[in-house]
Amino acid sequence: MISEKLIGVLASSLAACMVTTLGIYMISRRAEWSRRNSRFFVSFAAGVLLTVSLVHLVPRSLDISGRSPLFLLIGFLSLYILNHFISLFLCRKDEELLARGLIPVVGITIHSLIDGVIFAVTFQVSIFTGALAAIGMVLHEFPEGLITFVLLQRGGLKRRKAIWYAFLAAAFSTPLGALIAYPLIRTIRGETLGILLSLSAGALIYVGAAHLLPEVEDQESLSSLLTMLAGVGLGMIIILLRG
């Protein structure tokens, strides 16, 4: 019999895959609409992710493991270093590799695989923790689909190839990461689970603070700010109702 946690992991990762695919489809078909409205997805996702991470995931990880603060830092720095390494690697590659879109595919695939692992970890803690983390993560997949397609087209790929590579890199890799991680994580309990949750929370804080919030600030519009605050409000309401 399939457990509720596995159903949650599969449903959330497939939802993320579908939203990313929708982003890829929309940018390939309705580029202007997608660029104009993607900021609302980014802003709302930033508010939800940061609220969920700081108000729920961090305290929950502290309850489980006394070493959580260290691993929160490690989770944050790991994604920072990974993204920095990819950027440096990209700058050093010749035009032929860049034209193939190799580095964007590699970088985004790693990021999306990590998203899948985070689903597996958070649902292992509890259904509520997993569902709460999933809300912000799924929302940020739409602009990720847009960005992936644009990067691959700028790298020289034709439209059809860019669509397929973007799907494999940004969409399909999330449920793949969840399915790979779940059998390994489902047997973990106690201190180790708290450490994994801390790493996940640190990674989500990085995504919200370093990737999403700067885009909100770049917009310099009241609507983006209000959308971000709406995300904060939704996250707080769900946590308080649960509490």
List, in sequence order, the alpha helices (H) in 140-208. 141-154, 159-166, 173-185, 190-206
**DSSP state letter for 56:** I
Q: What is the pLDDT of residues 159-186, one digit of tens each?
A: 888 889 889 888 999 999 999 999 888 8
From residue 39, alpha-carbon distances to 42, 215, 241 in Å are 5, 7, 28
Residue (of 134, 161, 144) closest to 21 by Cα position = 144
Q: What is the pLDDT of residues 2-47, one digit of tens each?
A: 688 889 999 999 999 998 999 888 888 887 777 777 778 888 888 8
pLDDT range class, residue 231, cuts 50, 70, 90: confident
CB atoms within 10 A of CB 222: 8
**C-alpha torsion sign, points 212, 45, 21, 178:** positive
Q: Which two tokens stand for residue 125?
A: 């803690």
Residue (of 44, 166, 59, 28) closest to 105 by Cα position = 166
Range with top average pLDDT, 28-37, 102-111, 223-232, 234-243: 223-232
Q: Which two tokens stand for residue 38?
A: 């993607």
Q: For position 76, what pLDDT does the model report? A: 92
| 143 Cβ neighbours under 8 A, 6+ residues apart | 23, 38, 41, 42, 45, 215
Q: What is the pLDDT of residues 94-137, one digit of tens each?
A: 444 444 445 556 667 877 888 889 899 989 888 888 888 888 78
Q: How far apart are CA 79 and CA 84, in angstroms?
A: 8
Q: How far apart are CA 225 and CA 227, in angstroms?
A: 5
> Is this structure's pTM higher than 0.85?
no
